[in-house]
Amino acid sequence: MAGLSRQLELDRLALLHKTLSGNGEKLPTLDQIADDISGANPLTPDGDCDEYGSRSSARLEGWVSGLSFGVNRRAKKFPR
């Protein structure tokens, strides 16, 4: 079930990326986003208590959230 949920999030990310790119937004490539999600090559530095930055699943959630709002980067979530 977890794998299915993750695949849905990846499909949503790809659709959001395609839609925003089609609207002329300047976005990182899907490969760059994948490297950021996996932690292989982060697009932003660590160190600001970003709760989305701690795990790959959280980084994926941050990208989906950011792109959903039309932002060209991963959303950040800070503790209260």
Instruction: Give the whole-angstrom CA distance, residue 43 versus residue 29.
Output: 11
Is residue 54 predicted with pLDDT exceeding 80?
no
pLDDT digits (tens, 9 = 90+) for 18-36: 999 999 999 999 999 999 9
Is residue 9 predicted with pLDDT exceeding 90?
yes
pLDDT digits (tens, 9 = 90+) for 34-51: 999 998 888 877 666 666
- Token digits for 52? 């989305």
